[in-house]
Every structure is written in structure tokens, then in C-alpha cells.
Chain A
Amino acid sequence: MSEERIFSLGNRWFTWSVGAVVAVALLGAMVAFVWLPRTHAQATLASLWDAICSAAGAPAPFQGAALPGPGQRNPTGVIVSATMMGPSEANSIGNGATLAMSCTMCHGARGTSPAGTPHLAGQPASGTYKQLRDFASGHRPSAIMQPLVMSLSDQDMRDLAVYYASLERERIDAVEPSDTDTPRLVRNGDPMRAIGACSSCHSPHAGRPATPVLEGLSEIYLRDQLAAFRDGRRSNDINRQMRNAVQALSDQEIAELSRYYASR
């Protein structure tokens, strides 16, 4: 027995035990470092090497979810804060009313439009102002809006925003009594899919800066914007909030939400 060499390819105890351990290790490593990270991260991992590094816990440069990555542009050029608009003055509203004459074709004479464009009357001034700035800077691409806002100064945009905020929202359609309850996504969101409740930001009482009121907006417009956030066509949301919120929504859920908000 003492002549039997253990560390030899002829010894099946050696070949089998080492082979089995190596096989288990390789299989485990494939699952741990390649399959699981790619499955969990879906398409956000660019390469196999990224997957391996992420599973190994290799330190990556810290990047807050709020900030664009290196080489990416900012989602908006506007620094949004609670005090970004300042107090609205009568002069400012008047100037805004004058400038708004050229907006009536699409947004209606009093900021409420049947044309499928968003209603601006009663929207928070910070929201309208930010969108105007984003159209001008190209952060929110639009073939129609961009040329129209290019000639506006920063003050013009502020004046337009406070003018529309000063208008009272009117109903343009007769609201049919809703036969559905408030969707769960609006009330509770879906924590298992990391979707916050819509109402936590978009409730008229929340009063968040730069956050539009959705009630009564055109159903077609809402559906298109939700889909645009989901598909990456629109990306001027701060902290990727809207893109994160809608990325897991199905077409049916988008339709349901749009119908719900449009009917209110």
C-alpha cells in the first residue's frame, strides 16, 4: 500500500476528488459571478467583466443614483429647489399673459386645451418653468417646443410659469363618474417592484417643486409621457425618479393610470 502514489493521475481517488471539487467550484463560480449578476441586473451590466466585478464586490467609483455617470449629460439644467421661483408679482404675471398669447393655439386661451397637449392652468410655476428651460436646453427633446422657446429669456419663462400658475383650472370635458376605485399603484405603489405610490409626489396637496398636477391631463398625453420615460425617450426627470418608477410598468398599467388621472 505504501507504494501507491496519491498525487498521480493514475490514482482515481486523486483524479475524482480533485475533479469533483474543481467542478463544483467552477459551476458555483459560473452561477455566482456570471449568471446571477446578469440575471439580477438585467441589461444594466455592460459586459461579462462588469458582471464578475460586481459579484466579486470590486470597488466601483461611488455614483449616487441622483447623479449622471461620467460621460452622461445631466437630466436637466435647472437646479430645482423649494425657493427657485420666488414670490410672484403682478408685473410678472402680466408679462407672462402677454407672452402666452403665442401659446394659445395649442394650450388653449386660458391654459386648458382640448388638443391633447398638457393643461398649464393651475400647474405649479416651478414645473412649467423647468419644462420650458429643459425644452430650450434640449434636455427634453421636442421638435415643436424647442424652436418656440429659444427666443425666451429666463425671466420670460418665469413670467409665463407664474401666469399659468395664477389661472384657475377649468374642466374642458364633462367628467364621467368613475366606476373604478383609485388604482393601487396610485395609493400604495408596488413595493415588491420598487415602485412608489404616484400620489406621494403627484397629489395636489404634496406641492413638490417642479412636480406637475396630473389630474385632468389628456389621457393620450399621459400615456405617451409614461411610455417615453419607460423607453428612455424622455429623461429630464431629476434623480431618474420617473424612469425608475415606470420602468417596471406594463402597457396595461400605463393605460390604467393615464385613464385614471385623465378622468379626474
Chain B
Amino acid sequence: MLAHFWVAFAAFFAALLLGEWQMYIRSPLRDWIGNPELYYRAVTAHGTAMGYVFPTLVAMGFGYAIVELSLRQAIVGRRWAWLGFWLVVLGTVTAMIPVSMGLATVLYTFYPPLIGNPFYYIGVVLVVVGSWIWVALMSVNLSVWRKANPGATVPLPMFANLAGAYLWAWTSLGAAIEILFQILPVALGFRHTIDAGLARVFFSWTLHAIVYFWLMPAYIAFYTLVPRAIGGRLYSDKMARISFVLFLVFSMPIGIHHLFQDPQVGSGVKFMHAVFTAMVSVPTLLTIFTITASVEIVGRLRGGVGPFGWLKKLPWQNPMMLAVAFSFILLGFGGAGGLINMSYQLDFAVHNTQWITGHFHLIFGGAIVIMYFALAYDLWPHLTGRALAAGRLMRIQLWTWFIGMIVLTFPWHVVGILGMPRRMAYFDYGHPALTPQAVTVIITFFGGLILVFSGLLFILVLMQGHRGAPARLPAFAFARPVHEGGRLPAALNGYALWLSLMIGLSVVNYGYPIVQLMALEQTSVPAVPVGERP
């Protein structure tokens, strides 16, 4: 588990430095970068490490921890788990070498007909295959537990963990199909054309639900760590389970809203995806409600009265309390931006502008990563057997991350509305239309600087934890619900119903566009190799 977390955080920190470097070279603080190719290399590496490697390893490490801590059983299939881990590491290295050599600057969303070096894609596939081993192990471990505990209720952390695993297994299928059947044959030179429209549809299968896979560890932390860490109880165990199964059902079959401005898919199909994208707000709002209620209980138990008096009584010195508050605020801003992207008409205005960059940095870099920090702080003593004493440092780290993320993303939203494009290596600040926007790029550079400082603090806190004095800790416990026991419907103790709905809805939402695009003739375009002279 520690290996997973350390590799994840190392990849995270390296990608963070790359991100800040990108902010620097785009800003008016220096001349234009001589070779824009270097910028796109950095973006590809930043996106791949942050999007695939970091969250996948956190989910895997946290998943294994949940098996041991909530099921109270040793992990079944340890060797397989190590194989999965090494596949992810090998895949990361395999993908990063061609990226750093400039042979695969295709950005982490692949963007056919751009085709990079085959080893980049093989590396990504290895990362995904490694994570599939984890998915299988989670399922196997649960069934072993079920056999040992017939008829018992699956503990909430494990139930939620499985939601993340199944979501990942199903959603990663899209990108896997795209890479294996469309991109790799071209990258390896067997074919010279690619159906870019179809490739994008397959990628959109992965593209949105992957965000919910990233979110899962954060949501598990909301429900099963936060209430306990701040000295309270979870408002409702059932509500938590309903949220997780709704994510499974609704977050998967909705990715085509990423293709709103692409012509290949019909407008009706796009509208259907917009409808189900809106449905994802239901489990999100359920979560906000349940966790806020859980936190309010803590505030009132500590003597808070009145509509807002309980807020003052909350344990604000507790890093977990800070993290969940920051996470909710960033999720609120990011979610509001997401609702705008979800609207077919409004998306037209912000598509391919810095607005989008701002939106997903708020959701992933803000709401999600801040909870990764919190869950690492929470788990670290139990993983290392040593106390994590630097409370003040942790608070400074969380505050700086929160402030840095706001300073980074808010200007992006503003210039996004003004039409500043994303994915640009540099801007011509001498252009009259861009001159007033130059200051926002400087602000984002300083936001990034704050984030680098915060990331450095995070690594320092964890390293200090490794050097800390060995501590005798009480047994690890997840948050307990307010009302324990009671009868749980079978539907909320297993996944058969929800997986069926997820697959059924995916077939409804993706079946027609995929079959249609596959059946159309003459839709392939010549591939554009990256990293070679045309």
C-alpha cells in the first residue's frame, strides 16, 4: 500500500512541477518558448501522470487498505496485487520515455488522428491492465469475505470501494477498445487511416466516468473517514450507499457531452447524454446533504446552536475538517462550471477555452486531490506505524492548496469567457485583444507557485511521518452511522441490479452512435504521426 501511495505522490509531485513550468513559459514573465513542442511534451506528461497514474494508484492503495481495515482480512492474492502494481509502474515508465523524447506529444486525451509512438499507448494499456488486476482482486476479496460471513452486510467502505472498481472496469473499456483496435494498429504501422469520430466516441466512454473514478476515493473519505475523524457519526449509511450506486448507474453512460461540438454524433444523442449528465448531480447533492448533516451533528454536539452557530463550534484545527470544507467549496465552484459545460448552448461559448481548464482543475486538482491529501494523512500512521504529528504543517499545506487552486483557476474562468483558447504553448501578448488578459496568466503562474509550495509541504509531512517515533495506535476504525444495524435491503448490499442498469443504460446511450459510426463508410482520415518530420 505504501508503495502505491509513494509512487502516486512522486508522480503527482513531478507532474505538479511540470504544470508550474507550463504556467511560467506561457506567462509574460519570460520570452516565448523557442520550441512549442517542449510545452506539449510537458502537457502530455502532466496530464498522463495526473489523470491516469496518480489517481489509479491512490484508488488501488486505498482499496487494498479498505480490504484489510474494513473486512479485517488479509488481502487475498498478494502476488497478483504486486503484479498489478509493477504493471502500473512499468506502464508509466514505458509511456513517459517516448513522451520525454518528443515522440508522443498527443496530450493525455490522445486526439486522433494524431498518432504518437506505440510505446506511449502500450504504456497506458499496461497501467490500465494493472488496475484491472486490482478490480478483480477487490471482487475476489469481497467474495471470500462473503463466504466467511454469509448473509452479513458488506461494510460501507468496501461497498463504496467496489463501486469505484466496477465503475473503472466498465469505463476504462472505451479507451482500451480505442487504443487496441484503432490507435495501436496505426501506431504500429499496420494501417494508415483512422476513424477519428469513432475514436472520440470510444474515448468519451472513458472520458467522463474516469472523473468519477478519481472522485471515488474522495467520496469514500467523505463518508467513511470524515465523520469519525472530526468526532461524529455518519448521518445515513443508506444514503451513502444510494449515492455510490447512483454514481455507478449515471456517471458511466454520459460521456458524449464531451463531443458537443464534434459533428459526428447526432444532436438527439447528445441531448440524451446531457440529460443523464444532469442526473449525476443527484448523487452529488445527496453527498453534500449527507456529509453536511454529519458535520452539523458534530457542531451541535459540541454546543453549536442556531442555524449557523454549529459552524463556529466545528473542530477547525482538525486537518480532515479543513479538507472537507475546502473540498466542498471547490466542488461547488467546479460543479457550477460543470453544469454550464453540460448545457449544449452554453458549452458552445466555453468549449476549448481556458474555462474548461479551470473547471477540471477545480474538480480534480481541487475537490479530489485535497481529499487525497486528507486520506493520506489519515492512513499514514496506520501504514507506517508512526505518529504523524505535524498538525500545523498539515493545516498550512491544506490552506495553501485551497488558496493556490482558487488563484490558479478563477482567472482561467474569466478569460475563458473572453475566449482565450486552451492548449496554447504561448500567447502573443502584443496583440491588442490579448494584452489585457496577460495579467491573468501572471496570476495563474503565482497560483501554481503556491500549489508547488503546498505540494512540497505535503511530501515533507509524509516524509516526517516516516521518520517519526513509532507509536501505539488504536485499531483503525471507519465512521459509524448514527443509526447502526437495522435491516438493509438486498439491493443496497450487492451490485447485481446497479451493474445491470449501468450496462443497460450504456447500451442505450452508446449503442446507436457506435454502430452508426462503425457502419458508415469512408469516415477514416489519414493519421498524422507525431514526432516525425512530415
Contacts and interface: CB of A to CB of B under 8 A. Distances in A.
A7 B276 CA distance: 23
B100 interface: no
Contacts of B496: 6-7
Contacts of B492: 13
A2 B151 contact: yes
A57 B267 contact: yes
A31 B268 CA distance: 8
B505 A6 contact: no
A1 B271 contact: no
Interface string A5-47: 1110001011001100100110111011100110000000000
A6 B496 CA distance: 8
Interface residues of A, number: 29
A21 B275 CA distance: 11
A17 B496 CA distance: 13
A71 interface: no
B513 A57 contact: yes
Given A2-B151, A56-B512, A57-B516, A28 B272 contact: yes
A253 B340 CA distance: 36
A29 B505 contact: no
Interface stretch (B6-14, B84-92, B482-490): B482-490
Interface residues of B, number: 35
A155 to B, nearest CB: 47
Nearest to A11: B491
A235 to B, nearest CB: 29
A92 B493 CA distance: 94
B440 interface: no
A56 B273 CA distance: 12
A172 to B, nearest CB: 51
Contact of A57 (B150, B264, B489, B498): B264
A72 to B, nearest CB: 25
Contacts of B167: none
A4 interface: yes
A58 B249 CA distance: 27
Given A25-B508, A37-B268, A1 B490 contact: yes
A226 to B, nearest CB: 31
Given A6-B494, A55-B266, A24 B151 contact: no
Given A6-B491, A57-B516, A28 B271 contact: yes
Contact of B271 (A7, A17, A31, A54): A31
Given A11-B491, A24-B279, A32-B271, A54 B151 contact: no
B241 to A, nearest CB: 11
Interface in B260-295: 264-269, 271-272, 275-276, 279
A191 interface: no
Contact of B497 (A2, A14, A54): A14
B268 A13 contact: no
Contact of B501 (A1, A5, A17, A33): A17
B491 A13 contact: yes
Contacts of A57: 264-269, 513, 516
Contacts of B489: 4, 13
Contacts of B272: 25, 28-29, 32
B520 interface: yes
* Residue from the set B269, B513, B520 with the largest chain A CB neighbour count within 10 Å: B269
B268 A1 contact: no
A21 B249 contact: yes
A86 interface: no
A21 B246 CA distance: 10
A56 B488 contact: no
B269 A28 contact: no
Contacts of B504: 21
Interface in A187-233: none
Nearest to A27: B275
A161 interface: no
A264 B144 CA distance: 91
A262 interface: no
Nearest to B245: A17
A64 interface: no
A59 interface: yes
A97 interface: no
Nearest to A59: B520
B497 A28 contact: no
A57 B267 CA distance: 7
A162 B352 CA distance: 54
Nearest to B521: A59
B491 A56 contact: no
A136 interface: no
B490 A21 contact: no
A52 interface: yes
Of B268, B279, B488, the most chain A CB neighbours within 10 A belong to B268
B271 A36 contact: yes
A33 B500 CA distance: 25
B512 A1 contact: no
Interface string A51-72: 0101111110000000000000
B268 A7 contact: no
Interface of A: 1-2, 4-7, 11, 13-14, 17-18, 21, 24-25, 27-29, 31-33, 36-37, 52, 54-59
18 contacts: A1-B488, A1-B493, A2-B150, A2-B490, A14-B491, A14-B497, A17-B491, A25-B272, A25-B505, A28-B271, A31-B275, A33-B268, A55-B266, A55-B267, A55-B269, A56-B269, A56-B512, A57-B516
Interface of B: 150-151, 153, 249, 264-269, 271-272, 275-276, 279, 487-494, 496-498, 500-501, 504-505, 508, 512-513, 516, 520
